Homo-oligomer: A and B are copies of this chain.
Amino acid sequence: MDVQAGLLDKLFAAGHLVETGVQGLYGRSGVFEDVIARFDALITRLGGFQDAEVLRFPPAMPRAWFERSGYLKSFPNLAGTVHAFCGNDHDHAALLECLSAGEDWTGQQQATDIVLTPAACYPLYPVIARRGPLPAEGVLFDLQSYCFRREPSMEPTRQQLFRMREYVRAGTPEQVQDFREQWMDLGQKLIGTIGLPFTVDVANDPFFGRAGRMMKATQREQALKFELLVPVNSEASPTACLSFNYHQDHFGKTWGIETATGDVAHTACVGFGLERVALALFRHHGLDVTVWPDPVREALWGAA
């Protein structure tokens, strides 16, 4: 805990993160944003050979898509639903009375048809599905968005709102496994380029509750998820900065995505935790970006 609080406090003191009173919800300095933008651009350059289709979704998605995605089965505790006031003048007066009396005014809020995006790729699958069967070579998308996960924490690497860049591949099992293999190599090259120490290991998602235990074990046994880990908060428990995920036919079945030959499509994605990589850079290279090692500065900002 000391190490974690230490890094967060240093980032507040340097102004790179701005405290809001809510754990895991921070403002960012211009310098912090620039580091994110430069790393994001570095991913784009590294992935440029792929000819991916760029799509950008806002930080929330339709509740109907969210419900169908299966997220609530696995991670109900992490989701954020968006609620709104639907009343009249009279209800408004009651709301303001609650508010000024310091009482809870949120009871009147009603669920809208919108849910915060839990991972950049969640709004993508229904869009792929409605375009019809995939071409023979499959498809590849380039995504980035703010994502929400309800897990308040003092670890700066565990934020409730953070940005995730992703490449998502859909096609035959062979196509998507090749894609994942390739990015497991490229991801290591990428993180090496910016001078960060890392390991790669098999991993599992934080599936909820008792039923989740079995899902974690299965996911590990089948080696469906790998993470690239960098020590940020502590040496003992390094932070997953990139992940390489093979979903098998989960999203293909859920959304009815078909390959060119009419089989259920498989999908895989590589995800880049942009805030986490920025934090790893500040942790390893220092709070002053102007004195970061030359090769790192060259990789991010180009030759001086």
Chain A residues proximal to chain B, CB less than 8 Å:
18, 20-22, 25-30, 32-33, 53-62, 64-65, 67, 72-73, 76-77, 79-89, 92, 95-96, 99, 104-106, 109, 111-114, 116, 123, 127, 142, 146, 148, 150, 160-162, 208-211
Contacts and interface: CB of A to CB of B under 8 A. Distances in A.
A22 B113 contact: yes
A34 to B, nearest CB: 8
Contacts of A89: 209-211
Task: Report the 5 A-B pairs with minimum CB-CB distance, sorted nearest first.
Answer: A30-B54, A106-B111, A58-B161, A89-B209, A84-B150
Contacts of A87: 76
Decide if the interface of chain A is mainly helix, strand, loop or mixed. mixed
Contacts of A105: 72
A299 to B, nearest CB: 21
B88 A209 contact: yes
A83 B83 contact: yes
Contacts of A84: 77, 79-81, 150
A27 B127 contact: yes
B62 A21 contact: yes
Contact of A99 (B32, B56, B67, B88): B67
